[in-house]
Amino acid sequence: MRQRWPEKLWIVRHGQSAGNVARDAAHAAGLASIDIDMRDVDVPLSALGQQQADALGHWFAALPEEERPEIVLASPYIRARQTAESICRLGGMAGEKTAPVIDERLREREFGIFDQLTTMGIRQKYPELAQHRMLLGKFYHRPPGGESWADVILRLRSAMDTISLHYADRRVLVVCHQVVVLCLRYILEEMDEARILSIDKEGDVLNCGICEYDFLPDDAKMCVPKLVRYNFAAPLIEERAPITAAPDAMVATR
């Protein structure tokens, strides 16, 4: 018996976005809100983020044809689509397909009424919710109109079922967001709340950092995910692209 898995799976966070830059500026200035006049879905890459995406595309393109991704899946958010399109445009895919497949289940976590607020802004505007979030923990806390990490995991389980059904034995690259990277690790490595939150606490997911899995038979001849590397920044280092790891754009996540 063999479980249906890809031959290889890469999970990549998008390059630095304009929202990341605006968020850093808001925190540095001690502001309650992030100064960016657009929907989170429409936030593009920054100039530095485009440089990171191009570096990643060159790295994948330098792999032998038989080792490059055959399928690129991406969140519909502009920053993730731009990152995935750069990889495809620069020759990072194997075969004839040269465009990413967009899957809305890979989208950023929805922040609801916390959207565009800094940590200070949440505490000032919604003190009772901030207190409830602190008591419940961010894994299960769902801001009004938004999602908890557990909600994100629910839709990602569906996405992984689709990947296993349609792309078994293929090499698959997923371009998504910080919390999505962590939640996919939670699913693939069968973690619990404490373990994934401890990984999150160790540091942010790098923009265009690579999380890579192989799928090898275990002693019971079942195919299981094996983490090969995480937050792998060599593609950026090789092209001297700056390494960034700010939390995602439109809300404070810690």
Residue 106's domain is classified under what CATH number? 3.40.50.1240
51 is a domain residue: yes
Instruction: Name the pairing type of β-strands 171-176 and 71-74.
Output: parallel
Q: How confident is the model at residue 98 (pLDDT cuts 50, 70, 90)?
A: confident
Q: pLDDT digit string (tens) for 123-177?
A: 999 999 999 999 999 999 999 999 999 999 999 999 999 999 999 999 999 999 9
Other CB atoms within 10 Å distance of the CB of residue 128: 7
87 is a domain residue: yes
Q: Is the pLDDT of residue 252 over 80?
A: no
Name the percent of the chain lying above pLDDT 90: 74
164 is a domain residue: yes
Q: What total of structural domains would you count in the chain?
A: 1
225 is a domain residue: yes
pTM value surpassing 0.85: yes
Cβ atoms of 55 and 207 closer than 8 Å? no
247 is a domain residue: no
3 is a domain residue: no
Q: pLDDT digit string (tens) for 9-22?
A: 999 999 999 878 77
- Buried b / exposed e over 93-123, threshold 16 CB at 10 Å, is bbeeeeebebbebbbbbbbeebbbbbbbbbb
Q: pLDDT digit string (tens) for 25-40?
A: 777 777 667 777 889 9
